[in-house]
Amino acid sequence: MFKRKSKKVSEQDKKKDDIKGLWKKCEKCANVIYNQELEQNLRVCPACGYHYQLNPYERIQILLDPDSFKEQDENISPVDPLNFSYSGTTYKAKLKESQINYNSKDAMIIGKGKIFGKSIELGIMDFRFLGGSMGSVVGEKFVRGVMYAIKYKIPYVVISASGGARMQEGMVSLMQMAKTSAALNLLSDHNIPYVVILTHPTTGGVTASFAMLGDIIIAEPSALIGFAGPRVIEQTIKQKLPPGFQSSEFQLDHGFVDIIVERKNLKETLFKVLNYLYDW
């Protein structure tokens, strides 16, 4: 993290900073957006519809009834089984940095909440935390979410945002793919629906496990969804990929996604889907 040297700031500099804080250039269409307008539009560009990433607590505000979410197992912390270090930085140090910056123990939170008065079990991945990578804690929390859904007899909804399995935990991370996939059989045995909402990006081991096993798979518009990223594939096959490859729309056309839903319609659509799948 960069730290500025202390210096005297002129009134003119303060005004410039205030102006910068009022506006944002869209990452997709480059249009200048008024920040307040962007927030009111649920962090979706009003010009091109680009969906910015949200943190888990912003997701909760959009998706659930006010003050209905109760977080579960928030104090589960990861360990460093390999004593991993790279580029002069240790895994422990990176974990601690993310835990302080994002006030969370790891890249997933789970909890029970309500949507239009009906209870659901909700798991949300946080891409800010080491790229939303799936290690032992993400896998464990996912499985505990399954068990809570069974215990309370409520649908299980997971919002994915991940770069894949967490390399710093080696095989401990990779085994979470099998662990989470196997746990979903328990939901099926109890006739409890499992719905996944894919957001940008959902890749790697998460895509290859629980993100693609939903009874219904919903995606936000233009999200990157795939296993290996486009650059990796291009370097491997030595060919240019078609436009929109691995986007939500591409995956919908090829049968990997059931429906694409804009953020403003997500709560209502999810409720309709759950009502169709389950008799609360």
C-alpha 53/C-alpha 148 separation (Å) is 27
Q: Characterize the bridge pairing of strands 156-162 and 194-202.
A: parallel
Residue 201: cis peptide before it, omega within 30 degrees of 0: yes
C-alpha 74/C-alpha 105 separation (Å) is 7
C-alpha 189/C-alpha 60 separation (Å) is 28
Contacts of 28 (CB under 8 A, 6+ apart): 45, 48, 50, 222
Count of positions (residues) in the chain: 280
- Residue whose entry in the numeric block shows the structure tokens 């056309």: 253
C-alpha 206/C-alpha 202 separation (Å) is 7
| pLDDT above 60 for 54 | yes
| pLDDT above 50 for 82 | yes
Q: How far is CA 164 from the centre of its chain?
A: 11
Q: Determine how many CB atoms are found less than 10 A away from the CB of residue 84.
A: 16
Mean of pLDDT values over 110-122: 98
For 53-277, CATH number?
3.90.226.10
Of 225, 147, 157, 226, nearest in space to 197 by CA:
157
| pLDDT above 90 for 223 | yes
Mean of pLDDT values over 100-126: 98
pLDDT tens digits for range 157-200: 999 999 999 999 999 999 999 999 999 999 999 999 999 999 99
Q: Which two tokens stand for residue 77?
A: 């912390």
Of 42, 61, 58, nearest in space to 50 by CA:
42
Contacts of 131 (CB under 8 A, 6+ apart): 107, 162, 163, 164
| pLDDT above 90 for 224 | yes
The pLDDT confidence band at residue 20, using thresholds 50, 70 and 90, is: low
- Residue whose entry in the numeric block shows the structure tokens 């920040």: 35
The percent of residues above 90 in pLDDT, for the chain, comes to 88
pLDDT tens digits for range 36-48: 999 999 999 999 9
C-alpha 99/C-alpha 96 separation (Å) is 5
213-218, long-range: CB within 8 Å, 24+ apart, which pairs?
Answer: 213/181, 213/184, 214/158, 215/277, 216/258, 216/259, 216/273, 216/277, 217/256, 217/257, 217/258, 217/259, 218/257, 218/258, 218/259, 218/260, 218/261, 218/266, 218/269, 218/270, 218/273
CA distances from 175 to 86, 92, 209 (A): 22, 21, 10
User: CATH 3.90.226.10 occupies which residues in the chain?
Assistant: 53-277
pLDDT tens digits for range 120-169: 999 999 999 999 999 999 999 999 999 999 999 999 999 999 999 999 99
